């Protein structure tokens, strides 16, 4: 067997030397490693129990090139996400009825009785939701106080069992494509203090902050899968059990019934709401206006808040705005994120390696303990 393995390596060597992806360094190398990891996990999940890919030799035989591995990851992750959303549509309980109003002169006893009844109804709905998830997903997700340590807030707990390579949650939020980020006045300063940001390798930023989540469809946020933003970094002595996986979701190729459940929205689609909601914020807002807003009554109000800038800067920003609007039309797929189980998960909290930039070590929060500094250095290199 050893002789065969050496012969096989020698046979593959010339082909490997000719591949440009084998000469990657820094972030490009880490992206390749992450894609390979996701490929192995999702392929094992897709072919279970007859796992086709068990070694690097199997990788060479099934999807030897990086773009083939990436395509397989996309296919596996998107198909899983669609199946989960379909299952939720099939199994979800009826929505909660709206809370009844009370007359202004209602006494305290009436108010207390109604509050107690409302809590009981909400608890019953939560139990129905967990049972529906078990039927549809094979597991259920719930929010609870995290075990990551003091100050960690809420976390996501998976009850039941999820096999390695399974999509277990979506990371919801507002999507800023590279062109969108280039149009931001003040650049990244807009996101100072925002601890709910995820950056894809293609430069797309996913903002899962509370402010941004208010702009995502309520129906999508009501889906129990839309909790990826609550996954905490593991505490000291524990490892991550999920990986972030980029997914490109083309509405034209997805079942129309699941589209309202996708917990993503492009910044260009809600840009005017982002600006109005943060009218009292420092001048780090998007300067250029989407075409859908520029001619409206709100445009002069926004323009009045802008600081004076020179004609050249105005021209450049206008050009970037035009490019971003064109990109929104041409780049139809939503560039989202999902969380994939990196091992079998059973009755435990979901932990995601935040992989913070080593160059910002002096700004790391006290609870952050890096899991693999070498990987982090490559990711941000």
- Provide CB contacts within 8 A for 97, sequence distance 6+: 121
**pLDDT more than 90, % of the chain:** 51
Tell me the per-residue pLDDT of 282-301, one tens digit each, with 9 for 90 and over: 333 332 322 222 222 322 23
Residue 52 has pLDDT above 80, yes or no: no
Tell me the per-residue pLDDT of 206-217, one tens digit each, with 9 for 90 and over: 999 999 999 999
Query: Which segment of 87-96, 100-109, 155-164, 278-287 scores lowest on mean pLDDT?
Result: 278-287
Closest CA to 298 of 276, 317, 326, 323: 276
- Provide CB contacts within 8 A for 149, sequence distance 6+: 235, 367
pLDDT of 312 reads 58
DSSP E strands, the chain: 139-145, 154-162, 167-171, 173-176, 197-199, 205-207, 242-249, 264-266, 334-341, 345-349
Residue 150 has pLDDT above 90, yes or no: no
């Amino acid at each position: 067997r050893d002789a065969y393995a050496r012969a096989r390596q020698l046979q593959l060597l010339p082909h490997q030397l000719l591949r440009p992806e084998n000469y990657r360094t820094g972030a490009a190398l880490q992206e390749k490693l992450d894609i390979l990891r996701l490929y192995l996990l999702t392929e094992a999940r897709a072919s279970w129990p007859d796992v086709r890919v068990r070694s690097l030799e199997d990788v060479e035989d099934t999807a030897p090139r990086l773009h083939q591995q990436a395509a397989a990851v996309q296919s596996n992750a998107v198909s899983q996400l669609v199946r989960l959303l379909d299952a939720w549509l099939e199994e979800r309980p009826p929505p909660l009825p709206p809370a009844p109003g009370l007359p202004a002169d209602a006494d305290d006893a009436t108010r207390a009785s109604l509050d107690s009844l409302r809590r009981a109804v909400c608890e019953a709905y939560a139990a129905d939701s967990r049972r529906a998830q078990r039927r549809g997903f094979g597991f259920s997700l719930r929010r609870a106080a995290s075990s990551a340590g003091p100050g960690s807030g809420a976390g996501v707990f998976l009850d039941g069992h999820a096999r390695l390579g399974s999509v277990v949650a979506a990371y919801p939020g507002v999507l800023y494509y590279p062109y969108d980020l280039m149009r931001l006045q003040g650049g990244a300063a807009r996101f100072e203090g925002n601890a709910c940001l995820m950056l894809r390798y293609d430069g797309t930023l996913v903002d899962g902050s509370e402010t941004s989540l208010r702009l995502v469809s309520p129906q999508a946020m009501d889906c129990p899968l839309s909790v990826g933003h609550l996954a905490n970094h593991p505490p000291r002595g524990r490892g991550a059990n999920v990986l972030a996986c980029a997914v490109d979701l083309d509405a034209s190729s997805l079942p129309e019934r699941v589209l309202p459940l996708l917990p993503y929205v492009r910044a260009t689609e809600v840009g005017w709401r982002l600006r109005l909601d943060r009218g009292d914020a420092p001048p780090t807002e998007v300067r250029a206006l989407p075409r859908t807003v520029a001619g409206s009554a709100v445009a002069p109000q926004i323009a009045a808040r802008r600081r004076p800038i020179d004609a050249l800067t105005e021209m450049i920003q206008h050009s970037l705005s035009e490019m971003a609007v064109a990109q929104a039309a041409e780049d139809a797929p939503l560039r989202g994120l999902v969380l994939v189980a990196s091992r079998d998960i059973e009755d435990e909290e979901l932990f995601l390696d935040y992989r913070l930039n080593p160059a910002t070590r002096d700004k790391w929060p006290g609870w952050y303990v890096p899991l693999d500094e070498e990987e982090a250095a490559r990711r941000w290199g």
